[in-house]
Structure 1
Amino acid sequence: MNIQIFETSESGNQLTELQEFQESDQRVEVSISPDDTYQEITGFGGSFTEASAYLLNELSNENRMKILEAYFGEDGARYSLTRKHMNSSDFSLSNYSYAPVEGDVNLENFSIDEDRDDMIPMIKDAMEISKDGFKIIASPWTAPPWMKDNKDWKGGKLLPEYYETWALFFSKYLDAYREEGIDIWAFTVENEPLGNDSNWESMHFTPEEQNDFVKNHLGPRLQQAEQDVKILGYDQNRDEELIEWVDTMYDDPEAAQYYDGTAVHWYGSTYHYFPEELQYAHSKAPNKHLIQTEATVDAEVPAWKDDAWYWSKEATDWGYDWAPEERRHLHTKYVPVFRYARDMIGTLNNWVDGWVDWNMVLDRQGGPNWAENWCAAPVIVDPEQDEVYFTPLYYTMAHFSRYIRPGAVRIGHNHSDENLMVTAAQNPDGSIAVVLFNPEEVAKSINLNLNGKSTEFSISGKAIQTVVITDLDT
């Protein structure tokens, strides 16, 4: 068998192919079991936001294309699963809706013109660059205010008399994007239906209200129009609320027939990936998708050209200051690279089949964001100086997206060190990708066993590795 090993590390490796390895007294046995199969992988990637698309337009064409090639090109991260907001989100330049005219119940004035300057060109350029293509999940943050009980962008509920109009909105959106040559693979019913304390665009649903909308309006509308698109429910954090939502979604047979899966976010904790809740969600719908649709280093202004920050335990999230006292322990300081690596491996090992980061590109402030909800992104830019910074988070994402391809199947593994994290998948071409994460300071010697054959190498301290195994029979 042929083996290539790529590493990103605190010591400076950036998806570097290793030929020489550090010696280590710490020896770890890792066994890979290709006959032990789990979920099929949908993909990995990030999100098209107005903020990211706007920033790309502010850069030189050279840097714009450099970033898109890095995300979608054959020599880059090869993103295969993406997300975009429908109507505005906090990572927009302002509030907007594709249906701005009050009382337009037939949506005769529906238009995606707001996306034509930035979002649509970014998606089309990415499509041209991507050899294998990528899937797009579309998510609304809110219906237009005139459809809601509080007449506001923030908070409130969709009025029942507009359920049918809101379902029509999804259908018209699908058609409008297809006319642009862009296919939408899936919808989530509502981004964060539990709300965000009305800090930016949001709209509340209970699980029962979501079911009502899906089974009586959205599902039948899309089915009647013969529109081939998936519906993902929930779309918020993976903590205990997930159990209530999947119980409601899938215990109602009339609603369950329309759901193709469940969408989740990571904001319930900075370190805990909620394996029991994910296992439960999978058990409720073992043949449906379980997709992580949003994750980001939130509540932080990005560190600029400072790789060490992304490897240090300095980041905090919204919950560090604002979580209720009984949940504060879930929101400790964290190492950004560690959080990404731990979460991606941990969720994959608990039935998640797709993992999507939030903004692909942000500026040095962590925006633009009309609500001043600053976050980090894998790529940070300074438009005034036309500079681009690929943070360690970019390379962390690429360890998964570049080497674990759509249609891969997660396979079994065992390893002897509880502090090392491991996941493995076999790609459609037969190759196997094994991702290792070593959060400890010291290097570890790895003895990797597969089909009775073994190979030895080491992983650096504070590092992520992807081991690509081809020609398994030689």
Structure 2
Amino acid sequence: SPAPMASFLPIIAGVVSQTGGFSGPSWPPTAVCPNLVATEYGAVCECDGTCGNVWPDPTPSSPRTAIVVTTSEATGFMETEEIGLEYGAFVRQDTTVPYMDLTASPAQTHQEIKGFGASITDAVAYCLRELLSPAAAEELLKQAFQHAGFSFARVHLGSTDFSRMNYALAHERDLSDWCLRDDRTADGEVLKCAAEYGEEADYKVGVLKEALARNPELKVIVSAWSAPPEYKHQQYSCAFESKAVLACEPDLSLPPVMNCTTHVADPADCVGREQQEPCPTDPPTQWEQCDPRVCYGCDVEEPDACFYPNINSLKFDEQTPPRNAAGNCYNGGFIRDEAYDAWASHYARFIADYATLGVPVWGVTAQNEPGTQTGLWQSNFFTDEGQVEWVKDHLAPALRAAHPQVKIMLHDDQPTTLLSKALPIAQQVGRDAVDGIAFHWYTGVEAVYVNGPAKPPVPGTPIVNGGEDVKKVYEDPSWGKPGEKFMLMSESCSGYSLGTTWVGPRHGAHDYGYSTAHDMLWHLRNRAAGYVYWNLLLDHKGGPNVAGNFVDSPAFVIDENKFGLNPSFFYMSHFSRFVPPGSTAIEMQVQCGAKQDAYCQYVSFRTPTGQVVVVITNDDIRAGPAAVVTAGLPALARGQCTSGRDCEPIEWTVRCQADGAYAKGRIAWRAIQTVVMPCAPPTPPSSPPSEAPSAPAPSQPATSPPASPLSPPRGDSKIPCMVTEDCPEGEECLQQARRRVLFSSRRMQGVCVIGV
């Protein structure tokens, strides 16, 4: 939930130019996306009950070949070819064209990769269970957790802003009224609790079980937004910690800043809302008497008559959190000292109940965005000292006793405070109480700022970036040796820039896809162990959301039988499909012949099967408040496609240091490529092969998913084919080999394609 951006993005937007939008040729269909549909902002892959697609094999078919997977406006999503490796010395003949020559060092390893994925919120479950047909919902989960290889799913304890109402799982401190539930039951109706109704009481459980069936190695992360209001007090004061960032302090000598008088009580009232239009509360709050879409961001004669959402920088002050919460105590306040143990018991009970229902929990974050204190949606306020006490004295002891296998992560907040808050808190909590540090992407501002220190981009603006601090914290031995602890990017999404025109979904936006890939690449370069998107699926408006905080998502509902896959889904798949959990990031030497070193972008891994995977990009940031000419912004955020060489393709080589074999190719402007090659193939023949050896077409089982969803069968053998006009249902057919395999429906006519 990107609350910090709510306060300071309007400031940034005032000093930079906003660019973006779709332009260029129409995207062509590919085997991964055969049903491409144009949108206002670009193109999406439309799935009508089934996607009917064929995914590329994640490993080369021969020890002397490499796979190159490309996404660009010219090639479409994940166009794949298999090329022959070359051997011996490589001498670049023309150094006047942009190039980068990469040499892998598999022995120089860094962090282990835990995985990639997205969150399963109430909103996601609502879209899957109530908006999509069962067949369409099953197909989406298959695409994400089997084919794309998603191996993380983040879920919430209690309600989040992507719920349709405020609710807690218990209000009594002894948990005597405990009810594992979701957001489908309005106040006053008879609750369905898991103790009696099983997984029917929480539709997220059923979704997670289906995801686990597709990927048995799925890791489930639990995060909490708000404790029950009865566990919290509202005696606090707030002051500016930095430009447009508030920090609140509890003070029991003060009167409450508000009384707990209201909350969102009926999910039915939360459907069909508009962007930045919160769901109505019961009883109605003051700001519901006006239209926030009219009053938002404007000067009114009586500002107190209509103040929600209070995110305009000119009106953001010390009283903003209680004014925004407006009597809804789910949206703010501090946990009472005497309620800490009860709140820790929520975590332990939730993990136990999920395990009983067939969903094991891998890890928890101690609190979602503990430093985000705006009152816009569900949150617990914490000071740094309060976080130390909460984790060290209550949460960690409770979980280490009841669920010692569960990982505990701190922070779960912005990278701008990794050095100033996350690291000192981890040091004070102690090594035995923390396993990792989670962080979000929002202060990267649509990935404009991803690999630098935490600082204002220009004087007088809020602090952004902090991407380079991911590596600094990971390598700091004071909270654990590198490899013993991990860093995890636990929440990202586009369309969160409240206060700018870049708010809400932009279906088909290549810019959003590239921003995601750019952010993934640099955080992985800086030692992140994985990457988790926010909601996997939302409705066409980007909701539902209790606060009217609609955003983009990898997938979205079109109608009951159709869903769309956005560019961000495929950009993420360039990593998740080919870099399975257990891979390690490795060192890569580079000779950069681009105009600026910033244009040579890559990240490299070694998989458990010995493949080297390199993800390469050649692009700029065109989403969000990216500047054309403004001081203080990184090179890739300046809209470089304005003159000559900046817009050219980049030629590349990827060499395996171990044996000298290399692949070569080129990446077009505004593209992403994944290169997969073996790093220790057999001794090459005395003379290099004159052409790439034969390679089979990609294949996937047509029945139940394999134990490893990334390892479908291949080789010349008779196996079941997907149903096409060339391969009737039930027919056994011979998988065919081709010298140069481009896994595209346009090039596979007349060939039986193996797939699901």
* Alignment of structure 1 residues 227-306 onto 2, 5 Å: 227-239=404-416, 241-252=417-428, 255-270=430-445, 271-273=448-450, 274-284=466-476, 285=480, 286=482, 287-297=484-494, 298-299=496-497, 300-304=503-507
User: Cα 1:20–1:425, aligned 2, differ >3 Å: closer, same or farther?
Assistant: closer
* Letter in structure 1 aligned against 2:664: E
Partner Cα separation in structure 1 for residue 99 and residue 392 of structure 2:
54
Q: Does 2:78 align with 1:15?
A: yes
- Cα distance, 1:67 vs structure 2: 0.6
- Contact persistence 1:214–1:255 (CA under 8 A): no
- Contact persistence 1:2–1:471 (CA under 8 A): no
Q: Does 2:674 align with 1:466?
A: yes
Q: Cα deviations across residues 378-426 of structure 1 (Å, max 9, x unaligned)?
A: 111123x532111111000101111111111100112214202100111
Partner Cα separation in structure 2 for residue 410 and residue 78 of structure 1:
18
Q: Does 2:163 align with 1:92?
A: yes
- Cα distance, 1:248 vs structure 2: 2.3
Q: Please, what is the CA RMSD of the aligned residues?
A: 2.0
* Letter in structure 2 aligned against 1:113: R
Match of 2:350 in 1: 173
- Cα distance, 1:262 vs structure 2: 0.5
Match of 1:107 in 2: 175
User: What secondary structure, in the 3-state scheme, does the structure 1 residue paired with 2:389 have?
Assistant: helix
* Letter in structure 1 aligned against 2:159: S
Partner Cα separation in structure 1 for residue 679 and residue 523 of structure 2:
28
Match of 2:98 in 1: 26
* Aligned with residue 392 of structure 1, among 543, 550, 567: 567
* Alignment of structure 1 residues 380-419 onto 2, 5 Å: 380-383=556-559, 386-415=561-590, 416=592, 417=594, 418=597, 419=599
Gaps of 5+ in 2: 1-63, 85-93, 183-198, 235-259, 261-328, 451-465, 498-502, 621-646, 683-756
User: What secondary structure, in the 3-state scheme, does the structure 2 residue paired with 1:355 have?
Assistant: strand
- Contact persistence 2:603–2:616 (CA under 8 A): yes
* Letter in structure 2 aligned against 1:33: S
Partner Cα separation in structure 1 for residue 343 and residue 430 of structure 2:
17
- Cα distance, 1:215 vs structure 2: 1.3
- Cα distance, 1:31 vs structure 2: 1.5
- Cα distance, 1:370 vs structure 2: 1.4
* Letter in structure 1 aligned against 2:181: D
Give the structure-2-normalised TM-score.
Answer: 0.56
* Aligned with residue 123 of structure 1, among 208, 222, 228: 208
Partner Cα separation in structure 2 for residue 255 and residue 161 of structure 1:
23
Q: Cα deviations across residues 174-211 of structure 1 (Å, max 9, x unaligned)?
A: 11111101111111000000125111101111221111
User: Cα 1:365–1:226, aligned 2, differ >3 Å: closer, same or farther?
Assistant: closer
Match of 1:141 in 2: 225
> Could you tell which deviates more after superposition, 109-118 or 356-365?
109-118
Q: Looking at CA atoms only, which structure, 1 or 2, has the larger radius of gyration?
A: 2
Partner Cα separation in structure 2 for residue 455 and residue 403 of structure 1:
17
- Cα distance, 1:137 vs structure 2: 0.9
Pairs aligned (count): 437
Partner Cα separation in structure 2 for residue 401 and residue 393 of structure 1:
12
* Aligned with residue 150 of structure 2, among 75, 79, 88: 79
Partner Cα separation in structure 2 for residue 247 and residue 448 of structure 1:
36
Partner Cα separation in structure 2 for residue 363 and residue 450 of structure 1:
45
Match of 1:435 in 2: 615
- Contact persistence 1:301–1:364 (CA under 8 A): no
Partner Cα separation in structure 2 for residue 166 and residue 43 of structure 1:
29
User: Cα 1:180–1:36, aligned 2, differ >3 Å: closer, same or farther?
Assistant: same
User: Cα 1:108–1:338, aligned 2, differ >3 Å: closer, same or farther?
Assistant: same
Partner Cα separation in structure 1 for residue 612 and residue 203 of structure 2:
37
User: Cα 1:448–1:227, aligned 2, differ >3 Å: closer, same or farther?
Assistant: closer
- Contact persistence 1:92–1:369 (CA under 8 A): yes
Partner Cα separation in structure 1 for residue 402 and residue 205 of structure 2:
24
Partner Cα separation in structure 2 for residue 264 and residue 172 of structure 1:
25
User: What secondary structure, in the 3-state scheme, does the structure 2 residue paired with 1:397 have?
Assistant: helix
- Contact persistence 1:2–1:472 (CA under 8 A): no
Partner Cα separation in structure 2 for residue 62 and residue 432 of structure 1:
36
- Cα distance, 1:29 vs structure 2: 1.1
User: What secondary structure, in the 3-state scheme, does the structure 2 residue paired with 1:126 have?
Assistant: helix
- Cα distance, 1:251 vs structure 2: 2.7
- Contact persistence 2:348–2:403 (CA under 8 A): no
Partner Cα separation in structure 2 for residue 275 and residue 296 of structure 1:
16
User: Cα 1:447–1:394, aligned 2, differ >3 Å: closer, same or farther?
Assistant: same
Gaps of 5+ in 1: 312-334
Q: Cα deviations across residues 55-100 of structure 1 (Å, max 9, x unaligned)?
A: 0112112211111011011xx211012211111111111111111x
Partner Cα separation in structure 2 for residue 34 and residue 247 of structure 1:
29
Partner Cα separation in structure 2 for residue 303 and residue 387 of structure 1:
17
* Letter in structure 1 aligned against 2:124: S
> Could you tell which deviates more after superposition, 211-220 or 114-123?
114-123
User: Cα 1:108–1:96, aligned 2, differ >3 Å: closer, same or farther?
Assistant: same
Match of 1:450 in 2: 656
Match of 2:127 in 1: 55
* Aligned with residue 139 of structure 2, among 46, 66, 72: 66
Give the structure-1-normalised TM-score.
Answer: 0.88
- Contact persistence 1:85–1:140 (CA under 8 A): yes
Partner Cα separation in structure 2 for residue 401 and residue 133 of structure 1:
13
Match of 2:68 in 1: 5
- Contact persistence 1:93–1:369 (CA under 8 A): yes
User: What secondary structure, in the 3-state scheme, does the structure 1 residue paired with 2:212 have?
Assistant: helix
Partner Cα separation in structure 2 for residue 226 and residue 30 of structure 1:
44
Q: Cα deviations across residues 305-360 of structure 1 (Å, max 9, x unaligned)?
A: xx3xx22xxxxxxxxxxxxxxxxxxxxxxx32221111111011111111100000
Give % identity: 29
> Could you tell which deviates more after superposition, 24-33 or 158-167?
24-33
